[in-house]
Structure 1
C-alpha cells in the first residue's frame, strides 16, 4: 500500500512488522521546539493528547545534506533525525502524515525514511496588492505551505491597485496609495512591525520572505502618491477589453484603479527623481528584510519602450545588488542587456514555452544567475481548477486541473537548462478573484501539494511513486488532516478523498 506522504520522500522502506501505537503513555523527547510543534499537530489530527513518557525521539545530528531528515519507526519507538533544524521540522511533518487510525486506535506504521529536497528554493507567492490580506491570514498561509515543505514566501506587495508596505523614506505610498483594491473592497498595508511579525513567523517555520515591489510596470498606485515618477496610463485594446469583461473602468491619472487590466502603467524611466524613488524604496525594503532576495517584478511593462525598459532593469538590479541582496525578476527582464550578474529569473510562461519566453529565461543563467520555475498553466494557483469553478481565471491555457498541476517535469520546461541551473519551483497565487482566507484555501488546495511535490520530490523518471495515480491517492489521504486543520480545500472529483 502506498503511504500517504506528500511531497513524496527520497527513500521509503516499509517493514513487515508491528506498528508503533500512539497511546496515553507515549511522550515526545528531544528538540523542544519541534517537540511542541509535533504535540500540537498530533493533538489536531487525533483530537487527543499525548502523555509525558517517551517513545518519540526528535534530534538534530549535523553532517547530512541541508534540510534532510531520517525517520525510523518500530513497535518500540520512533526516532526522527534532522541534519539541521529545518530538516527536523520537515521530518516531523512527514511523521504526522504517517499517523493512521485502525480498530485499536492511532498508530504509525513501521518504516524507514530518508529524505532531502530536490531543489533548495521551494516557494509560494501571495498577491496582497490586488486584494489585501491581514497578518493573521498571511501567517496561516505560511503554516499551510510550510507543512508541505515550502521554504520561501514571495509577497507581491505592490501593483496598480495598491501599495501594501510602509517605508520610512516614502510615507505617501501608504498614506495615499494603499486604501483601495480590486472592486469595492478596501485595501490596507503592513506597518514595519506587521512585516517584521510576518518575517519572524515565517522564520519559525524555516521559511524566507521574498518581498516584491513590481516595477517599472504595475505602478499606477505609485502615481497616486508620487505622480512625478509615473507616466500617464497607456490605454490599449487589451485594457479596454479587460474593462469591458471585468469592470473597474479605464485607468485614469491620479485616480485609484479597481480593475483587472495589466500593462498600462510605467514609471518615468531615466528621470533622476524616478532613480531616487527606486533607490529609496529598495533601500528601506532591504533594511526590513533579513533574507537574501528582493524581487523587482519587471513583468508586463507593455506600454514601456523596450530600450527604456532594458535600461531600467539594468539600473534596478544594480541598485539591489549594491544593497547586498540578490535581485529576482520575472522572465521578461531577461531581455535587458545590462541585467546585473547573478540576477535570478522567475519563468511564468507555459510548460511548453511560447513567444521566445524560454530565450529570455536562459539569459539569466548565461549571466551567472539561475531560474525559478512558475509555469502558469501548471502552478498558477489562481487559475480555475474546473471550468465552472466560482473563483479564478482561465487565461493560462484554460482551467488548470489537479492532474495538469501535477503532470509536468521541471527539468523539461526550458531546453538547454541543466538541473543545477534551476533554483527551484514556486506556485504563485494572484488574487484578482480571491477576497478571503477561505478563497485562498479553495484555490490552493490540493494543487499546492502538486507544486510542492515538484519542488521537493525526486524527478518523475527516477521514482516509482512520482506518478499521477500515486499522487491522487496520496493527496486524497490528506483530506481528513486538512479538515482537522481548518483548511477549506476544494474536494476535486479528480481525487479519491479519504
Structure 2
C-alpha cells in the first residue's frame, strides 16, 4: 500500500510524540527566544472581551509540536485537523493531531473542553505560555473561533503555501472571549448575478476568519432564480437563465446547495436561504404564467433595479401551493433555524392583503420547522413572537410597528444601509475602482464601523436586537474580485460590531488592527480595497 505524504507526516509526527513521551528522543537545546511583545489585541479582529498579557513570555511552534484535542468534545478533532492542515504548508512541520492524554501535557497546541459558563457556546479561553497554547471552550464552535484568533496572532507568512523560515511565535498571555450577539451574518446576493459553488466557498473561507456565523444567501429576485426546485423546472431553466445586464446566469442544483450548507457548517456557519415574495418575484412569474393574475408570463427582467410589476398574484391559490412546495423543499435542504421570505418593497400590495399573505407564509414556514426571517417591512404583519425582522432602511421604517413588535417578542437584526451595505461605493471620487452603488450614500471604512445596533431604530427594546448583518447585493457586481474589494475591509468592521463588547469599540484601535489584516489578505488572495483611512503595510506577494 502506498502511503500518502500527509499520512507519512502524521505517522512520523506521532512516532516523534510517542518517543518524546517515552523519553527516547530529547530535542536539541532550544535557542533562546527574545522576549516577545506582550499579548495584545493589536492584531485581532473582532476585538476580544479581555486580554491579560504575560510580559516577556513567548511561545514558539516547533518541529516536534503537536495538536491535541479532547475527544469528549464533538467536532474537536475536525477543528484540530483543519488547523493543522492550515499550518503545515508554511511551517513544514508534521504537526500530528492526537487525542489528549489525561495528566500528560503534550508540547504544542491543545484544544480542550471546559471554559466555564461565562463564555457560552461560542466563546473560548486562550492561554499562551512559553511551552504550550491552550484553547478551552464549551463547544467546538468556541474552539474554532479561538483558532481564528491564533491564526491572526501568528506571522502573516503562515498563510503561504510553501515552506517558510520561522520562527513561528505567539505572544504570551490569556484571552477570554465570547460574542456580544449570537447572530452575525453576511448576505451574499446570488440572484442578481450568479456566483458558483467555488466562488461562494471562497467567500465563506474569508468571512469565517472574522467569526461570522450565518451566511444569508439571497437566492431569488426579479433578475434570477438560483435554486432548483423539484416539480418546478422552469424556475431555473427560465428564471435562472440570466442576470442583470443579461450576464452571469446560472443556478445551484440541490446537491450544489447541500455542498454549500455542508461547507459552511464546517466553518461553523449556518446558511439562511431567502426566497423573495410577494414582490421581487419576476423570475418566478416569468417562469410560470399561472403565478400571474392575468395568466400571462412577463418577459425576463435584466435591469439593475427591481421590476415595476414584480408581485406574485396573491388572490390565486396556486401561489400558496407554489410557496408551500418551495418552502418545503428549501427547509428540508437547510438544517439551520431560519428561512427568509423577503417581504420588502411590496409597495403595490394593499396593506390588508400584504398582512394576509405574510401570515399564510409564516404558517407555511412554521409547518416545516423554521423561523420566519424577513426584511423590516414584515414587522407588524406577522406574529411577533415568531418573527425576526432585518432592519435595512431606518429612514423609511415604520418605527412604531418595529418598536411594538420588539416589545411583543419580535427579534431584530440590524443592517442599516448607510453603514452596513457592502455594495455601496467607498467614496465619490474613486476612479481606481468604480464598481458599486451609491443610492444610499458612500460608505468608507469608518462609516461601516461607527454605529451602534441598539440605537438604529428609536423606541425599540434593546434586548430584542440579536445581531447584525453585512449585505452585499450584486446588481453592479459583475466579477468575483468585485466581491472582495467591496467586502474587505468593511466586512470586518461589521463583524466586530456583532462580536465585540460595546466597551471595546474604538476607531483608532480598529484602524490599526485592520491594517494588520492586509498581509494575511495579500497571501490568501483577498483583493481588498486599500482605503486611504488605513495605514496599510507594504503588500506581500503570494
Confirm or deny a common fold (TM above 0.5). Answer: yes
Size of the aligned set, in residue pairs, is 470
The aligned residue for residue 237 of structure 2 is 175
Aligned partner of residue 217 in structure 1, secondary structure: coil
1:279-428 aligned within 5 A = 279-336=324-381, 338-339=382-383, 341-349=385-393, 353-387=394-428, 388=430, 389-396=433-440, 398-428=441-471
Counterpart CA distance in 1 for 2:346 and 2:133 is 54
Q: Does 1:151 align with 2:151?
A: no
Equivalent residue in structure 2 for 1:188, among 233, 239, 250: 250
Counterpart CA distance in 1 for 2:418 and 2:273 is 23
The aligned residue for residue 536 of structure 2 is 497
Change (3 A) 1:120 1:481: same
**Alignment RMSD, CA only?**
2.2
Offset of residue 2 of structure 1:
5.0
Counterpart CA distance in 2 for 1:356 and 1:205 is 34
Counterpart CA distance in 1 for 2:81 and 2:496 is 26
Deviates more, 1:33-42 or 1:160-169: 33-42
Offset of residue 218 of structure 1:
0.4
Aligned partner of residue 42 in structure 2, secondary structure: coil
Counterpart CA distance in 2 for 1:430 and 1:357 is 23
The aligned residue for residue 28 of structure 2 is none
Deviates more, 1:259-268 or 1:200-209: 259-268
Offset of residue 19 of structure 1:
0.8
The aligned residue for residue 9 of structure 1 is 48
Change (3 A) 1:362 1:270: farther
Counterpart CA distance in 1 for 2:363 and 2:166 is 63
Deviates more, 1:267-276 or 1:439-448: 267-276
**Contact persistence 1:344–1:364 (CA under 8 A):** no
Counterpart CA distance in 2 for 1:229 and 1:101 is 53
The aligned residue for residue 162 of structure 2 is none
Q: Does 1:60 align with 2:104?
A: no
Q: Deviations over 1:418-439 (max 9, x none)?
A: 3321111111110011123211
The aligned residue for residue 457 of structure 1 is 500
Counterpart CA distance in 2 for 1:62 and 1:16 is 23
Offset of residue 263 of structure 1:
5.7
Point out where structure 1 has 5 or more consecutive residues left out of the alignment. 234-251
Change (3 A) 1:151 1:101: closer
**Contact persistence 1:263–1:302 (CA under 8 A):** no
**Contact persistence 1:125–1:429 (CA under 8 A):** yes
Counterpart CA distance in 1 for 2:84 and 2:219 is 34
Q: Does 1:481 align with 2:534?
A: no
Aligned partner of residue 7 in structure 1, secondary structure: coil
Q: Deviations over 1:243-274 (max 9, x none)?
A: xxxxxxxxx95311110122621011121111
Offset of residue 6 of structure 1:
0.0
Counterpart CA distance in 2 for 1:232 and 1:61 is 62
Aligned partner of residue 395 in structure 2, secondary structure: coil
Q: TM-score, normalised on structure 2?
A: 0.83
1:259-298 aligned within 5 A = 259-262=303-306, 264=308, 265-298=310-343
Q: TM-score, normalised on structure 1?
A: 0.90
Q: Deviations over 1:274-296 (max 9, x none)?
A: 12111111111111111111100
The aligned residue for residue 447 of structure 1 is 490
Counterpart CA distance in 1 for 2:512 and 2:530 is 13
Change (3 A) 1:93 1:395: same
Change (3 A) 1:6 1:43: farther
Counterpart CA distance in 2 for 1:308 and 1:146 is 40
The aligned residue for residue 94 of structure 1 is 149
**Contact persistence 1:117–1:457 (CA under 8 A):** yes
Offset of residue 347 of structure 1:
0.4
Q: Deviations over 1:20-79 (max 9, x none)?
A: 1233332322243222222233346x5644555732111233753111101101111111
Counterpart CA distance in 1 for 2:269 and 2:306 is 30
Counterpart CA distance in 2 for 1:201 and 1:408 is 31
Aligned partner of residue 379 in structure 2, secondary structure: helix
Point out where structure 2 has 5 or more consecutive residues left out of the alignment. 1-39, 70-75, 97-105, 158-164, 538-542
Counterpart CA distance in 2 for 1:50 and 1:476 is 31
Counterpart CA distance in 1 for 2:470 and 2:122 is 20
Q: Does 1:124 align with 2:186?
A: yes
Offset of residue 105 of structure 1:
2.6
